[in-house]
Chain A
């Protein structure tokens, strides 16, 4: 199944997976999707624990998708695909966590407001 990948060098690994990688990826994603939905819909854990679990499962599922479906690895395109992905992930984390961090502190330093009314002008 993986024989053509080897004979044709580094390139095909980028876009051609084997049936096995697709099926493994699909099975893992199905589990990694079902568990967080189940956790939230049943409320099996505390709200905080559910939150952390859901985020961890999402990160795991994103990794499964990038390796099994998008076929990102260190060999594809001489490593440039991986470098571009890592770079994007870093910028993405800085943008999202930076925005949340700054805006959270901005909110904390504003005049006290009642819960839920933060968006309205006064």
Chain B
């Protein structure tokens, strides 16, 4: 793109025009509105399909939850206080992301960045504690290979953890994007998608802590 500007405005290729244009135009309401809305609905449909992936993993876990194969049961290996801490971290990260979105409404770039960093710190702590839990289980011999229950457990909880990790990468990318280009229409749209993604992961976690940890401890 730097080559295009160096060559002068007269010979800008037609194909590159849409990319170049948004650097010169202020993000107009009418201009940005329609494509952004389509993206949000599309992203929502993606989240719903992601929910179906989790549905199959929950179903698998539900079917295999008591197939211990003589190995450890939930009561032997789960530490509920650790899960409660993790749940709290993810819940707080949800509201801090909400504050980032409120800052976006008021176009406060510094506040958006600060809240995104806070959200990422809570998210990173969540992933770190989950990795500690996994490491602890594996060190105790409760590996995914041990029983069908543990295979299903690691697949379900690990898939959620992988999603949170991707969310952290996305937050980092958005910090760079907002830092370099400011609050453009595109960045607003991306932040809205990321917001949906982050809150969606918290909803999935409600299912995980209820059906995997809490109900597992009762049985």
Q: Are B68 and A116 in contact (CB under 8 A)?
A: yes
Q: Are B70 and A117 in contact (CB under 8 A)?
A: yes
For this complex, into which size category does the number of interface residues on chain B fall? Answer: 35 or more
Q: Are A92 and B51 in contact (CB under 8 A)?
A: yes
Q: For the complex, what is the distance from the CA of A96 to the CA of B83, rounded to whole Å?
A: 23
Partner of B37, one of A18, A19, A47, A77: A77
Q: Are B69 and A119 in contact (CB under 8 A)?
A: yes
Interface residues of B in 191-211 (CB under 8 A from A): 192, 195-196, 199-200, 202-203, 206-207, 209-211
Interface residues of A in 19-57 (CB under 8 A from B): 19, 22-23, 25-26, 29-30, 33, 36-37, 40-41, 47, 50-51, 54-55, 57
Q: Are B203 and A62 in contact (CB under 8 A)?
A: yes
Partner of B45, one of A40, A57, A84, A120: A84
Q: How many A-B residue pairs have CB under 8 A?
A: 141
For this complex, into which size category does the number of interface residues on chain A fall? Answer: 35 or more
Partner of B101, one of A15, A41, A51, A95: A15
From known contacts A55-B210, A92-B55, infer whether A119 and B68 are also in contact, taking CB-CB under 8 Å.
Answer: yes
Q: Using Cβ atoms and an 8 Å threshold, which residues of chain B touch A77?
A: 37, 40-41, 44
Q: Are A118 and B52 in contact (CB under 8 A)?
A: no
Most buried by B among A25, A41, A92, A100: A92
B162 within 8 A of partner (CB): no
The smallest C-beta distance from B163 to any residue of chain A, in angstroms, reads 15
Segment of B10-18, B57-65, B176-184 engaged in the interface with chain A: B57-65
Partner of A51, one of B51, B105, B218: B218
The smallest C-beta distance from A45 to any residue of chain B, in angstroms, reads 10
Partner of A58, one of B105, B195, B207: B207
Q: Are B218 and A50 in contact (CB under 8 A)?
A: yes
From known contacts A37-B80, A77-B40, infer whether A22 and B95 are also in contact, taking CB-CB under 8 Å.
Answer: yes
B48 within 8 A of partner (CB): yes
The smallest C-beta distance from A91 to any residue of chain B, in angstroms, reads 6
Beyond A51-B218, A99-B62, A119-B148, 13 additional pairs, beta carbon < 8 A: A11-B33, A15-B40, A17-B98, A17-B102, A19-B99, A22-B95, A25-B98, A37-B84, A51-B215, A58-B207, A62-B206, A80-B44, A116-B73
Can you spell out 6 A-B residue pairs with CB atoms less than 8 angstroms apart?
Answer: A16-B101, A16-B105, A77-B37, A95-B52, A116-B66, A120-B70
| Chain B interface (Cβ < 8 Å from any Cβ of A) | 33, 37, 40-41, 44-45, 48, 51-52, 55-56, 58-60, 62-64, 66-70, 73, 80-81, 83-84, 87-88, 91, 94-95, 98-99, 101-102, 105, 147-149, 192, 195-196, 199-200, 202-203, 206-207, 209-211, 214-215, 217-219
